[in-house]
Amino acid sequence: MKHDVTVKNKLGLGTAPLGNMFRDVPEKEAMETIQTAWDEGIRYFDTAPFYGAGLAESRLGEILSSYKRDDYLLSSKVGRIVLDEKEEKEGLFEFGRQNKIKTDYTEAGTLKSIEDSLKRLKTDRLDMVYVHDVSPDFLGDEWITKFDEARNGAFKVLDRLRDEGVIKAWGLGVNTTTPIEIALELEHAHPDLSLSATQYTLLQHERALERMMPLAEEKGGGLVIGSAFNSGALLGGDFFDYKEITPEIKRKVEQFTHVARNHGVNLKDAALQFSTAHPAVKAVVTGSTRPDRIKEDLQAMTATIPAAFWQELIEMGLVSPKAILPGK
């Protein structure tokens, strides 16, 4: 039994940066960001044990636990369990907590992950649960084996929890399109809401339009879009899809910037509206540690963007003619 999920303003707060992704975020700054999101009307919050080895969940729980649970939507992820054992960290979350993380997509691991998340979040339930990073970008050649583990473990238990009304929806939370496509076509699992990060964005969407977006519509599997700016690349950042930006991507961003300037368009406005224009998309989650960015994101959703801007992007080959554009 599938449930429809409606997100206010089609905008949520993604909390990967609050797990100290790329830098050590002061506690005060993290708390202000979450509080500002609430004060500005954000009522959907997405997190994961992976974000700083539980740090993002704990920070989110500190703020949200003071509000009525029925007043907001909350999603977290399964597939990784935070252990008490410590280790030196490197990579995305080298500034997060030093706890070791174990990858586990089994039924027991899924239930343990949810139980631990509920404690860190200081809540009695999750609304949506995503199976996290069961994907080649994180697992390499092992990803098919781990996908099978999830299919026989996490997928089954999450199907049951949704059908029992314990959660509203479940799906995958990944940075590639293939796992979502495969999951949507399974006979014995029924994901109804997946989080697709980096793949349906203004800067990168051709692959998603081939199969993921049509399948999501056909199978009734909604999507939440993450990393709509591709780790900040579109807005002039140094990272693209969580890695150092390449000269090729920089040149593409310069083209977008040039067209936007000619039409008086803010690229953040265009990016958020593009990612939410497709009918399969329920929301976009944006991550930040800067409280002032929250208001910018909300304003972006209703900014006026001339049709000529989109037309020029299509003519330049920067946007696919198959894309569903804002206002259409």
Q: How far apart are CA 325 and CA 202, in angstroms?
A: 10
Pairing relationship of beta strands 80-86 and 99-103 according to DSSP bridges: antiparallel
Residue 51 annotated in active site: yes
In degrees to the nearest 10, what's the CA dihedral of 231, 170, 133, 115? 110
Contacts with 69 (C-beta within 8 Å, 6 or more apart), sequence order: 123, 124, 125
Q: Which of 44, 51, 105, 130 is catalytic?
A: 51
Q: How far apart are CA 233 and CA 243, in angstroms?
A: 10
Least Cα distance to 283 among 92, 68, 128 occurs for 128
Q: How far apart are CA 3 and CA 100, in angstroms?
A: 35
Longest dimension (CA), the chain: 56
Q: Which residues are catalytic?
A: 51
